[in-house]
Amino acid sequence: MGKRNTIQRQLVIAAVRTLENHPTAEEVYNCIVTEYPDISKGTVYRNLNSLVETGLLNKVAVPSGADRFDHILTRHYHIECTDCGAFSDVDTEYLEDIDLKIAKATNYKMDNHDIVFRGLCPKCQAKLQKQGH
């Protein structure tokens, strides 16, 4: 039997799509609770994990912070600003064979990988230049 398409699931998917910034679970909750104050944090977290398990959302593991959620289901890379925390997609070719290369080098049976690039975004670079750094 498939998962029910509850209003809570619909709210969670809509919030991830609306926020468009690869939100954390906390940001998804904060987005939903403004219009639906009775929804619990646990309900949002459970639905996010369920939507990832069923393949309707992707979870991006971020070693330096909270996991983020993505409504774009094709494989792609992400970049995070080390100053303001902006998080976005990288428009570049996805390296399909990297899992095979890593598996061969390590003898691991690969599942997948998350690569998050880090650097200073254009807005923060401009801010620093303005400050004379």
Q: Are residues 45 and 65 in the same domain?
A: yes
Contact call for residues 83 and 120 (beta carbons, < 8 A): yes
More confident call, 2 vs 114: 114
Q: Are residues 38 and 28 in the same domain?
A: yes
Contact call for residues 98 and 113 (beta carbons, < 8 A): yes
pLDDT of residue 23: 96
- C-alpha 68/C-alpha 80 separation (Å) is 11
Dihedral sign (CA 32, 36, 37, 39)? negative
Residue 4 in this model has a pLDDT that exceeds 60: no
pLDDT tens digits, residue range 90-123? 999 988 889 999 999 999 998 888 889 999 999 9
Q: Are residues 130 and 78 in the same domain?
A: yes
Q: Are residues 89 and 130 in the same domain?
A: yes
Q: What is the CATH number of the domain that holds 41?
A: 1.10.10.10
E-strand spans in 11-108?
58-60, 68-70, 77-81, 87-90
The token pair at 85 is 């925390």
Q: Are residues 63 and 16 in the same domain?
A: yes
pLDDT tens digits, residue range 35-75? 999 999 999 999 999 999 999 999 998 887 899 999 999 98
Residue 5 in this model has a pLDDT that exceeds 70: no
Tell me how many domains the chain contains: 2
Q: What is the CATH number of the domain that holds 86?
A: 3.30.1490.190
